[in-house]
Every structure is written in structure tokens, then in C-alpha cells.
């Protein structure tokens, strides 16, 4: 147990503790545990940790029947399939794990055959899968399940038209800590949650509106407690009675981007931005990047604005174009695809480069990569 704030890069010690705890204490009810692998740590290596489902599993899958799993990495898909089968109230559920590369016209026949009743995953990925749903298949879907990702009003409209009988259900959790919220009560806006029993949420250094970094304290196994973990999200606590009987809720305001931001089906790594910026150090001296996503008629499209500063003050339109061209070709947003590749595939809009005439303030809490909400 620690009494100070635990930063993301310090979470490895907690993850290692879950592993050694699992392997040194026997006997165990193996069905209650699963091994999780997270993405996007500061040193580029994934974290391995053992989840004790009694403390970490969220309730989103309870009662699920035929689930189409639309999550990014193979590890996440398999992890979620395991979770679903192990003590989540959906032991008999059938699961179809899809890959983003499966989203081709041929996928329609598979969807008609599988007849999903629930879709779970990234909203941008579910949006893509929706394009291959026939009206009959879409009408059979009972719920769309999302974890820790805002669903914009534009995307909600798309889902309502493709899946007219589906409820939107969101839960707040992270790969490090597991579930943080209760399943939705049905009375709160989609960006707000009731905190799970046994989880303590505090806001670090809130601004005048009450918004600030979310610090989470919770027990993640019988022997391991995480205290004041800076999870990387910004939020605000509201003290309003809810018709369901709860007296407070946590509103999620966005991701601060400590290590990574997930957007439009990709993972933007802070470290990769640093590497690409270093490769272009002949063109600019410092930068800040802001990522966002927009829903178009056919897909969720990511967008990145790169603000750059040159100490010598030199600037021209040609220079801005050169930075955009080289940065897009240099920056990898998936393991194999650059921003340039994704722009050509229509998944991202072309990089916008803006001049910052003043140097960026270097502050302790300054972050180079941030996410703007829709
Ligand atoms: Zn409620």
C-alpha cells in the first residue's frame, strides 16, 4: 500500500504484485482469474497482470447471448472473451471476435449467420461493423456495450438507426484496475457513472468547475489495494440525487493522454509522437498535439492538429506543408500503419500543422498529447 499518488509508470509494481500473488498463493479457484495484458506503457512494453474477477470484472456482459467482440488488439479480444466466459453471468454466451481487417463486404454474410444480440468494443469499430449489418440483423441486436469511451451524440444517432432495438450500455473501467463503475442505472447521461461499491474516486487539484485528474483507490485482489492511482482521465464529481437512489455520479471529461490516447480505432502513443518529432528536429524545435474524432456518414474519422514552435521564428506555408508531409509519413498509429497510410485509407483526415509563435510553457503537468472531445 502506498499513500502518495501512483502514476501510470509506477503501476508496473502493482501489476507485478498481482502476478507474484497469484503464483505464490495456492490453492486458487482458477475460474475467477484471468491474465491481462495492457498496451501503451511509457517504456513501450505491455504490462502483465492477473485480474481477480471478483474485484475487477465489470457487469456489462451479464445476460449476454451472442456477442460480437469489436476490440483493437488480439490480446484484448481474447481477454474479453475469457472474461465473458469466466464468472460474468454469460458462461453460455457465444462470442465472435472480429478484427478491423475483417470489415469487408464479405462480413455481412457472417453477421447474418452469427446473428449477434450484443456488440461490444470500441465505438469506432462498432460503427464500422454496423455498416455490414442487414436491417434484420441490426433489429435483433439488444445492446451495444462500451467501456470507458465516450459515445458522441452523432454516433448515438447512427447506432439508433442501425440498431433500433438496442440499448446503449456504458461502464467505466481500465485494464489496470478493472471495473470502476456500476452497470448503467438508466438515468444518467452517457458520460456519467455511479462509482462501484468499494471504489473511491477523488479529483486531484480540481479547477474552478471541479474538473481535474481522476485518482482511483480500490482493492484489486484480496491482498492488493491500489491507492490514489492517477488513471489518466479527467473527470468531475456531481453530488445530485439520482432516481435510482444513488447520491453522486462521476462525469468523465476526457483523456489526458499520459501514455496514450485511443482514437478512431488506433492508439496514439506519446512515445511515438516524441520519436517522430525527434526525427523531424531539423524542421521544428517543440510541439503540442491534439487529437479528436468526427463521425461522418460512413465511419469515425480521426484528426490530429500539430502545433509547432521554431526558436528562430522562421515560418512559411511551404514549411508547414513539409512538416505535415514528413510527420505523417514518420508517425505510426498502429504497429504497421503510419498516419499517411490511414489518411489514404480514409480513417484519418490530413494532419493540420499550425505555428506556435511563442515557446510552449514547460510546466510539471504539461502534456504534449491531448484529446479533444467531440
Ligand atoms: Zn442512477
Q: 20-38: per-residue pLDDT in tens?
A: 988 887 656 777 787 787 7
Q: Which residue stretches of 115-240 are H helix?
A: 123-130, 135-140, 153-162
* Cα 198 to ligand 1 centroid, rounded to whole Å: 17
Domain range annotation of the chain: 8-255, 260-371
* Cα 91 to ligand 1 centroid, rounded to whole Å: 27
Give the architecture-level CATH label for domain 8-255: 3-Layer(aba) Sandwich (3.40)
What grid cell was written down for 212? 481535474
Please name which of 160, 245, 240 lies closest in space to residue 197, comparing C-alpha atoms. Answer: 245
* Cα 71 to ligand 1 centroid, rounded to whole Å: 27
Is 287's pLDDT higher than 90?
Answer: yes
Contacts for 70-73 with beta carbons within 8 Å, 24 or more apart?
70/98, 70/119, 70/120, 70/121, 70/122, 70/125, 70/126, 70/128, 70/129, 71/120, 71/121, 71/122, 71/125, 72/100, 72/121, 72/122, 72/125, 72/262, 72/265, 72/266, 72/267, 73/39
The burial class, CB within 10 Å (0-12 / 13-18 / 19+), for 64 is buried
- Secondary structure (DSSP) of 100-115: GGG-STTHHHHHHHH-
pLDDT at 1: 39
Per residue in 141-171, pLDDT tens? Answer: 999 998 867 787 788 899 999 999 999 999 9
Please name which of 192, 181, 146, 136 lies closest in space to residue 167, comparing C-alpha atoms. Answer: 146
Q: Grade residue 293 by pLDDT with cuts at 50, 70 and 90.
A: confident
Per residue in 344-366, pLDDT tens? Answer: 988 899 999 999 999 887 654 45
Mean pLDDT of 167-189: 89
* Cα 55 to ligand 1 centroid, rounded to whole Å: 21
* Cα 63 to ligand 1 centroid, rounded to whole Å: 20
pLDDT at 162: 95
* Cα 183 to ligand 1 centroid, rounded to whole Å: 10
* Cα 248 to ligand 1 centroid, rounded to whole Å: 8
* Cα 249 to ligand 1 centroid, rounded to whole Å: 8
Is 203's pLDDT higher than 90?
Answer: yes
* Cα 242 to ligand 1 centroid, rounded to whole Å: 5
Phi, psi of 77 (to 5 degrees): -65, -50
Range of lowest pLDDT (44-48, 244-248, 249-253, 254-258): 254-258
* Cα 152 to ligand 1 centroid, rounded to whole Å: 20
Per the model's pLDDT, the better-predicted residue between 211 and 43 turns out to be 211
Per residue in 76-114, pLDDT tens? Answer: 787 778 778 775 667 788 999 988 778 888 999 999 999
For the whole prediction, is pTM greater than 0.75?
Answer: no
Per residue in 215-253, pLDDT tens? Answer: 999 998 888 899 999 888 888 999 999 999 999 999 988
| Contact (Cβ atoms closer than 8 angstroms) between residue 218 and residue 226 | yes
pLDDT at 91: 77
What stretch of H or E contains 80? Answer: helix 74-85
Indicate the pairing of strand 66-70 with strand 48-52: unpaired
* Cα 192 to ligand 1 centroid, rounded to whole Å: 9
Is 3's pLDDT higher than 60?
Answer: no
* Cα 247 to ligand 1 centroid, rounded to whole Å: 8
* Cα 189 to ligand 1 centroid, rounded to whole Å: 10
What grid cell was written down for 48? 502483465
Residue that is written with C-alpha cell 515560418 in the block: 315
Which residues are within 5 Å of ligand 1 (an ion), measured at CB?
Answer: 185, 187, 242, 244, 246
pLDDT at 135: 96
Query: Which CATH number applies to 260-371: 3.90.76.10, 3.40.50.300, 1.10.287.70, 3.30.300.30?
Result: 3.30.300.30
Question: What is the rounded distance in angstroms from the CA atom of residue 156 to the CA atom of residue 125?
Answer: 14
Amino acid at each position: 500500500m502506498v499513500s502518495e499518488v501512483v502514476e501510470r509508470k509506477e503501476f508496473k509494481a502493482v501489476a507485478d504484485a498481482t502476478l507474484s500473488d497469484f503464483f505464490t498463493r495456492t490453492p486458487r479457484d482458477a475460474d475467477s482469474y484471468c491474465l491481462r495484458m495492457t498496451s501503451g506503457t511509457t517504456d513501450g512494453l505491455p504490462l502483465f497482470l492477473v485480474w481477480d474477477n471478483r474485484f475487477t470484472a465489470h457487469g456489462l456482459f451479464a445476460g449476454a447471448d451472442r456477442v460480437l467482440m469489436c476490440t483493437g488488439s488480439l490480446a484484448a479480444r481474447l481477454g474479453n472473451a475469457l472474461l465473458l466466459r469466466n464468472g460474468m453471468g454469460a458462461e453460455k454466451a457465444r462470442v465472435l471476435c472480429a478484427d478491423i481487417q475483417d470489415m469487408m463486404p464479405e462480413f455481412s454474410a457472417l453477421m447474418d449467420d452469427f446473428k449477434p444480440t450484443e456488440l461490444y468494443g470500441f465505438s469506432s469499430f462498432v460503427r464500422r461493423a454496423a455498416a455490414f449489418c442487414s436491417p434484420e440483423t441490426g433489429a435483433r441486436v439488444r445492446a451495444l456495450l462500451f467501456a470507458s469511451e465516450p459515445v458522441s451524440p452523432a454516433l448515438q444517432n447512427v447506432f439508433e438507426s442501425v440498431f433500433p432495438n438496442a440499448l446503449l450500455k456504458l461502464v467505466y473501467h481500465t485494464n489496470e484496475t478493472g471495473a470502476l463503475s456500476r452497470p448503467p442505472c438508466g438515468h444518467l447521461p452517457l458520460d456519467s457513472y455511479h462509482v462501484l461499491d468499494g471504489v473511491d474516486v477523488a479529483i486531484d487539484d480540481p479547477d474552478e468547475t471541479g474538473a481535474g485528474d481522476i485518482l482511483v483507490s480500490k482493492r484489486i485482489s484480496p491482498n492488493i489495494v491500489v491507492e490514489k492511482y492517477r488513471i489518466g482521465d479527467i473527470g468531475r464529481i456531481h453530488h445530485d440525487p439520482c432516481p435510482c437512489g444513488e447520491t453522486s455520479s462521476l462525469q468523465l471529461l476526457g483523456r489526458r493522454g499520459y501514455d496514450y490516447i485511443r482514437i478512431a480505432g488506433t492508439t496514439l502513443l506519446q512515445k511515438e509522437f516524441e520519436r517522430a518529432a525527434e526525427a523531424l528536429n531539423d524542421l521544428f524545435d517543440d510541439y503540442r498535439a491534439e487529437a479528436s474524432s468526427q463521425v461522418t456518414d460512413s465511419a469515425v474519422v480521426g484528426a490530429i492538429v500539430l502545433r509547432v514552435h521554431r526558436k528562430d521564428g522562421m515560418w512559411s506555408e511551404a514549411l508547414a506543408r513539409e512538416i505535415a508531409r514528413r510527420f505523417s509519413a514518420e508517425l505510426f498509429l498502429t504497429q504497421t500503419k503510419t498516419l499517411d497510410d490511414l489518411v489514404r485509407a480514409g480513417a484519418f483526415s490530413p494532419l493540420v500543422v499550425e505555428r506556435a509563435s511563442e515557446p510552449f510553457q514547460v510546466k510539471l503537468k504539461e502534456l504534449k498529447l491531448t484529446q479533444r472531445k467531440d
